[in-house]
Amino acid sequence: MDKKVVANQVLLEDAAKLMEEGREVNFTPLGSSMLPFIRGGRDSVILRKMPSAEVGDIVLVRLEGPRYVLHRVILKDGDSLTLMGDGNIAGTEKCTQDDVLGTVTAILKGKRRITPGKGGWWRALKPIRRYILAIYRRIAI
């Protein structure tokens, strides 16, 4: 199958419509903000619209701009969510449940299908994440 690169605005708006209809979508995200769990340009993700996002979920959200991010929920306060990429050592995004387009239900690494965990241990390692990511980037990428 040929790969086609499509602008985020087009791809993700169409993906959001499909998820609103109850369908799953599959695409290959770009970037390194979700390392080491999702490698941009290599791994694919399957997303589905869920009733609500919970702490630990990896979600696709539409932020102002519009700008799209695929990051993990690290804090939930009522309808408000705080997100952070697993490959980030600082910086968060704030959004609401209404901004969530879909939740990652599977990560495809080649032919392997992995159900994402909640990342509790990875979030607990945030104080030393900088060092772990530095080593990972040197040996795995």
pLDDT tens-place string over residues 45-71 = 999 999 999 999 999 999 988 889 999
Residue 102 belongs to domain spanning = 8-140
Does residue 66 have a cis peptide bond before it, meaning omega lies within 30 degrees of 0? yes
Per-residue confidence (pLDDT) for residue 10, from 0 to 100: 80
Per-residue confidence (pLDDT) for residue 75, from 0 to 100: 96
> Is 38 a member of any domain?
yes
| CATH number of domain containing 85 | 2.10.109.10
> Is 41 a member of any domain?
yes
For residue 100, list its beta bridge partners.
61
| CB 64 within 8 Å of CB 7 | no
Per-residue confidence (pLDDT) for residue 108, from 0 to 100: 97
Per-residue confidence (pLDDT) for residue 1, from 0 to 100: 60
> Is 3 a member of any domain?
no
Per-residue confidence (pLDDT) for residue 77, from 0 to 100: 96
What are the tokens at 9?
């605005």
Average pLDDT value for the chain: 91
What stretch of H or E contains 124? Answer: helix 120-124
| CB 65 within 8 Å of CB 6 | no
Instruction: Please write the tens of the pLDDT for every residue from 8-23.
Output: 778 888 898 999 999 9
CA 8/CA 10 separation, integer angstroms: 5
**pLDDT tier, 35 (very low <50, low <70, confident <90, very high otherwise):** very high
Tell me the helices (H) and strands (E) count for the chain, helix number first. 3, 8
> Is 102 a member of any domain?
yes
- Mean pLDDT across the stretch 93-121? 95
> Is 131 a member of any domain?
yes
3-state secondary structure of 131: helix
> Is 99 a member of any domain?
yes
| CB 45 within 8 Å of CB 104 | yes
Number of domains in the chain: 1
> Is 1 a member of any domain?
no
> Is 2 a member of any domain?
no
What stretch of H or E contains 102? Answer: strand 100-109
